[in-house]
Structure 1
C-alpha cells in the first residue's frame, strides 16, 4: 500500500506535503521528490495522469523561457540584449520539479476517489457544510456541463461554423456561452427538484467513518518522514 486508505489522512497529506515541498530550494531534493512520485505511480499501477501533466507543462515551459532571462547570475546564453543565467535555469528546473511532484502526489491520492466519499471525509474534518455541498455538487455536475458544451459545439459544426477572427465568430461564441449557462441553470433546477423529491433537506447523507488503521498511520508517517528527510537534505 503506497497511500493510506482513510480519506481524512489523504486530505491531510494533500495539504501538508505540497506545503513542505514549497520550502525546498535545492534542485537535487526537488528532483528526488519528483522521481519518488513517479515510482509511487508505477508501483500503484494507476493510470498515469498524462493530460494533467501536459496542461501543466505549458506553464512550466513558459517558466523555463522567462526565468533564466530575469534572474541575475552567471551567463549561460546571450540572445541580443537578453542574457540567460545558469542560476535562473536551475531555479526554473527546481520549480518545475516541485510543481510536477505536487501534481503527481495529488493525482496519486485522489485519482479514483468518489466525490461523495471525499465530501464525507471533508465533513468529518469539520469543513463547513455549505462548502462540502458546493464541492460535491460541482464535481458531480462538471462532467455533465462539459458534455453539454461538447453537444453545443457539435451542433455549431453541423451548421458549418468555422471559427475566425471576426465579429460573427465572437458573437457565436458569446451565444454559445449564454446557451451553456441557461442550460446549466435549467439542469441545476431539475437536479434540485429531484433531490427534494428524494427527501433532501440541505445536507447530504452522512456515513460514519471508521478510525484509521495502524497501516494507514504507518503509510502517512512514512510519507511525511520522507518529505522531512528531503527538507533536512535541502537545509544541510
Structure 2
C-alpha cells in the first residue's frame, strides 16, 4: 500500500517515529483551539513546510487533500446561511452572513493544516515502523495489531473491489438512479464482505502455520537521539508561536 513513505532520507524520516507522532498530536490539539485566522494561516504554512521537508509528492498529496475537502465542502458552503450575523447577500431569501463565512474559513484552515501535518509526520512512516512507535507509546496491543492489518490489507481489498467492478462492467452494468443499480451495488457490498471474511480466515490459517500465538513482536530498535530533542524543541517553539499569534491584536 502507498502510504506516502519515501525511501529518501530526510530530516523528518530520520526523526524518531514516537517524536513525530507526539508532535502531530500536539499540533492537532493546538490548531483545534486556535480561532484567529492569522494563526490558522500560519499553521497551514507550517503544515506545507512539513510536507516539503518530508518530500511528499506535492501533486499526489494535494490530490488526497482535495478528496478530504470534498467531504466537508458542502458543510462549509452551508455555514454562511446557517450562522446568524451580519448579512453579506441573500439567496432565495436566505441571508449569508460574514460570521458564517469566517467560521467556514476557520474550519477549512484547521482541517487542511491538521490532515497535511498528519500526512507529513505520520503518513510518511512505514506501517511496521508506525506500529512499533505506537506500541512503545503504550497503545493497546490489540489496537496496534488492528491498525497494522488494516494498513496492510486495505489495498488488497481495494484491488478486489476493482476486479468486481470490472466484472460488473463486462456484464453490461451501467450505474443509474434505479432499483437495478441499488440492488447490484448491494450485491457488490455483500460480495466484498464475504470475500473479506474468507481472506481473513486464510490469512489467520497461514499465520498459525507460521507459529502465530496471538502476539506480534513489535519491540523494534527505537531510541531517542540528540536530534530528536532538537526536533521537539523546535516544534514546541513553533506551537508556542502559534498560540502567541492567537492573542496578538
Shift of 1:207: 3.3
* 1:188 aligned to which of 189, 197, 200: 200
Question: Which residue matches 1:13?
Answer: 23
Q: Conserved in 1, the CA contact under 8 Å of 2:80 and 2:101?
A: yes
Once residues 155 and 197 of structure 1 are traced to their aligned partners in structure 2, the CA distance between those partners, rounded to angstroms, is 33
Runs of 5+ in structure 1 lacking a partner? none
Once residues 198 and 189 of structure 1 are traced to their aligned partners in structure 2, the CA distance between those partners, rounded to angstroms, is 14
Once residues 176 and 212 of structure 1 are traced to their aligned partners in structure 2, the CA distance between those partners, rounded to angstroms, is 47
Per-residue deviation, residues 123-174 of structure 1 (Å, max 9, x unmatched): 1111111111111111111110110000000000011111122222222111
Question: Which residue matches 2:166?
Answer: 154
Q: 1:4 to 1:16 in 2, by over 3 A?
A: farther
Q: How does 1:1-236 map to 2 (within 5 A)?
A: 1-2=11-12, 5-48=15-58, 49-236=61-248
CA RMSD of the aligned region, Å? 1.7
Runs of 5+ in structure 2 lacking a partner? 1-10
Shift of 1:2: 4.5
Question: Which residue matches 2:6?
Answer: none
Q: How many residues were matched structurally? A: 236
Q: Conserved in 1, the CA contact under 8 Å of 2:79 and 2:101?
A: yes
Structure 1 stretch displaced more, 15-24 or 111-120: 111-120
Which ranges of 4 or more aligned residues in structure 1 deviate by more than 4 Å?
none
Q: 1:158 to 1:110 in 2, by over 3 A?
A: same
- Taking structure 1 as the reference length, the TM-score comes to 0.93
Q: Conserved in 1, the CA contact under 8 Å of 2:127 and 2:151?
A: yes
Once residues 36 and 112 of structure 1 are traced to their aligned partners in structure 2, the CA distance between those partners, rounded to angstroms, is 16
